[in-house]
Amino acid sequence: MAKLACDIIDTPALMAAKSHLRNGFPLVIAPSTNNGLSGNAENIGKLLNRKNYYFVPFKQDNPITKPRSIVFDAEYIIKTIQYALEGEQISPILL
């Protein structure tokens, strides 16, 4: 997410994502990170404000042992893709 947020394209996966966006298609991101509620929160915020980036709803992984960790809810993947194809972000994004 940090590389996407900063427009750093140095891997095949990032090149594919940017090409996908350049062609006007939605990019669905399912975040799972140990620092989603700390260092990576800024990058998530940047991507939320960009056109054609859509997030699968996510929640805290384990607030007791991993207080800054987030994980996407797999139950919402298909629904998020359906919404993204219509140009809408599924809500709520933070469960």
What pLDDT, on the 0 to 100 scale, is given for residue 74? 96
Please give the Cα distance from 3 to 57 (Å, whole number): 20
CA dihedral over 74, 3, 44, 35, signed as positive or negative: positive
DSSP state of 57: -
Structure token digits, residue 19: 């090409």
pLDDT tens per residue, range 39-50: 889 999 999 999
- pLDDT reported for residue 39: 85
- pLDDT attached to residue 35: 87
pTM equals 0.90
Confidence at residue 84, expressed as pLDDT on a 0 to 100 scale: 97
- Cα gap 45→25, rounded to integer Å: 20
And the tokens for 63? 């607030």
pLDDT along the chain (95 residues), means of 10: 94 95 96 90 94 95 90 96 96 88
Evaluate whether the domain defined by 2-85 bears CATH number 3.30.230.10. no
Q: Enumerate the domain spans of the chain.
A: 2-85
